[in-house]
Amino acid sequence: MYKLTHEKHQAKYIGQDMMEFLANAKFEDLPAEVVTRAKHVVVDGIAVMLAGRKTREMFDITWDHMAPVGDVTPVGCNFKTTAAMAAFLNAAHAQTHDYNDGLNNSGMLGGAYHPGRTVVSTALAVGQKVHASGKDILLAVVLGIEAAARMRNPSHDSTVADIYSSAVVAAKLMGANAKQIFSACTLAGHLSVGLKSKSTGYVSPATDGKAAGSTANVIKYAYLNRTGVEAAEFAMLGYEGPGLNDNNAIASRYYTCGLGKEYQCMDMYFKPWPCCRKTHGAIAAALALREEHGVKAEDIEAIRIFQQTTGMYVNTPINAEMDINFGGQFSLQYTVSCVFLDGNVELRHYRWPDRKAPQKYVDFAKKIKVLPDNGLDGYNAISPNHGIVEVDLKSGETLSMYCQYPLGSEPNGMTEEQRIAKLRTCAEDMTEAQKDEMVNWIMNLDQIAAL
Which H or E run includes 341?
A: helix 332-342
pTM of the model: 0.93
Q: Is the peptide bond before 272 cis (omega within 30 degrees of 0)?
A: no
* pLDDT at 249 (0 to 100): 57
* pLDDT at 193 (0 to 100): 61
Residues 180-225: tens digit of each pLDDT = 999 999 999 888 765 444 444 445 444 343 444 456 778 889 999 9
Query: How many angstroms separate the Cα of 112 from the Cα of each of 33, 105, 150?
Result: 22, 9, 9
Vertex 324 angle, CA 322 and 329, to 5°: 125
* pLDDT at 244 (0 to 100): 73
Residues 315 and 370: beta-carbon distance below 8 Å? yes
Residues 357 and 327: beta-carbon distance below 8 Å? no
Contacts of 388-391 with C-beta under 8 Å, sequence gap 24+, read: 388/281, 388/282, 388/285, 388/305, 388/306, 389/282, 389/285, 389/286, 389/289, 389/303, 389/304, 389/305, 389/306, 389/336, 390/303, 390/304, 390/305, 390/306, 391/289, 391/295, 391/300, 391/302, 391/303
Share of the chain above pLDDT 90, in %: 73
* pLDDT at 207 (0 to 100): 38
Query: How many angstroms separate the Cα of 309 from the Cα of each of 1, 157, 161, 225?
Result: 58, 20, 26, 32
Residues 47-76: tens digit of each pLDDT = 999 999 999 999 999 999 999 999 999 999
Residues 84-100: tens digit of each pLDDT = 999 999 999 999 999 99
Which of 127, 145, 141, 220 has the alpha carbon at shortest distance from 450? 127
Residues 164-187: tens digit of each pLDDT = 999 999 999 999 999 999 999 999
What pLDDT band is residue 5 in, cutting at 50, 70 and 90? low
Residues 406-449: tens digit of each pLDDT = 999 888 999 999 999 999 999 999 999 999 999 999 999 999 99
Q: What is the mean pLDDT of residues 357-374?
A: 96
* pLDDT at 383 (0 to 100): 54
* pLDDT at 7 (0 to 100): 54
* pLDDT at 13 (0 to 100): 72
Residues 246 and 110: beta-carbon distance below 8 Å? no
Residues 286 and 399: beta-carbon distance below 8 Å? no
Query: Cα separation of 219 and 70, whole Å?
Result: 21
Query: Cα separation of 79 and 114, whole Å?
Result: 27
Residues 20-36: tens digit of each pLDDT = 999 999 999 999 999 99
Burial of 38 (0-12, 13-18, 19+ CB in 10 A): buried
Whether the pLDDT of residue 116 is over 50: the answer is: yes
Residues 290 and 343: beta-carbon distance below 8 Å? yes
What pLDDT band is residue 4 in, cutting at 50, 70 and 90? low
Q: Where does 251-313 have alpha helices with state H?
A: 280-293
When computed from its CA atoms, the radius of gyration of the chain, rounded to whole angstroms, is 23
Which H or E run includes 167?
A: helix 159-173
C-alpha torsion angle, residues 347, 127, 138, 158 (rounded to 10): -60
* pLDDT at 241 (0 to 100): 86
* pLDDT at 201 (0 to 100): 43
Query: Cα separation of 223 and 211, whole Å?
Result: 25
Query: How many angstroms separate the Cα of 403 from the Cα of each of 216, 379, 407, 415?
Result: 32, 13, 10, 19
Query: Cα separation of 19 and 184, whole Å?
Result: 11
Q: What is the mean pLDDT of residues 253-263?
A: 89
Lowest mean per-residue pLDDT among 9-18, 48-57, 344-353, 367-376 = 9-18
Query: Cα separation of 329 and 318, whole Å?
Result: 11
Q: What is the average pLDDT value for the chain, to the nearest integer?
A: 89
